[in-house]
Homo-oligomer: A and B are copies of this chain.
Amino acid sequence: MKTAPQCTACPTKSSGIFGDLSQERLELLNQAKTTNHYSRGQNIYYEGNPPKGIFCIASGQIKVFKSGADGKETILRLAGPGDVLGYRSLLSDAEHGSTAEVIQDAMVCFIDKHFIMTLTKEDPLLAFNVMRRLGSELAQTETRLSNMINKGVRERLSELLMVLQQTRGKKVGDGVEIDVRLTRAELASMIGATSETVIRLLSDFRDEGYLALEGKRIIVKDPVGLLAEANIES
């Protein structure tokens, strides 16, 4: 059991929604939060559960997904350090519309519903940060929806790889490694495809020199070529 982290010294403070909080409020938040460690495979909350508060990710990686009728899951987004989970359901006070599962061991702070709601009402800047986040998630989801409709799997996969490379990339000798361990099935469920199709396309991309595949590692070697495949408009 590690010592509990301090919000006042949280490395994700500036990138999260609490970056603009005053010192006193941050101290209050620090008192109010509780911290938990989760390991790969554990769930933070489940689709259908009533929301009890929000989760602020200090470290690790989490996938947020919906389960369809036949159990097939659709990954809505990945969340890492600085991201906040569960505020959407809180606003409408409806049950969670998705499940959050840890894919890389994580440290996550929990903030009670009542506390965060009060804090948000008192602090317009916090409210604005939340709005901005919701807005940007909405924009992203709308783009994905549009991509689902008028792009093929190949384009969607290359776009996903580009995004992952930018947001989760780690420079290695001969390229940029995607630094989240995702199975092919998970990649597939982020773009609405099957694992077989993703496997085939990854091999194609490797054969075409865009990627190197070393087991679970994916290293992007030719981002420019890959981007061209994605065929992004605007």
Contact = CB atoms under 8 A, between A and B. Distances in A.
Given A127-B128, A233-B69, A150 B92 contact: no
Most buried by B among A48, A66, A68, A76: A66
A213 interface: no
A74 B131 contact: no
A47 B69 CA distance: 35
A15 to B, nearest CB: 16
B135 A74 contact: no
Contact of A88 (B76, B121, B135): B135
Most buried by B among A91, A92, A98, A149: A149
Interface string A182-201: 00000001001000000000
A135 B98 CA distance: 13
A150 B91 contact: no
Interface string A66-92: 101110101010000000000110011
B131 A127 contact: yes
A139 B97 contact: yes
B141 A74 contact: no
A148 interface: yes
A21 interface: no
Count of identical protomers in the assembly:
2
Nearest to A122: B124
A114 B144 CA distance: 30
A224 interface: no
A133 to B, nearest CB: 9
B192 A135 contact: no
B131 A91 contact: yes
A131 B152 CA distance: 33
A94 B132 CA distance: 11
A134 to B, nearest CB: 4
The 7 closest A-B pairs by CB, nearest first: A68-B150, A149-B192, A134-B134, A91-B135, A127-B127, A74-B146, A66-B146
Given A92-B136, A145-B192, A148-B192, 9 more contacts: A72-B149, A74-B145, A74-B146, A74-B150, A76-B145, A92-B132, A121-B128, A144-B145, A148-B148
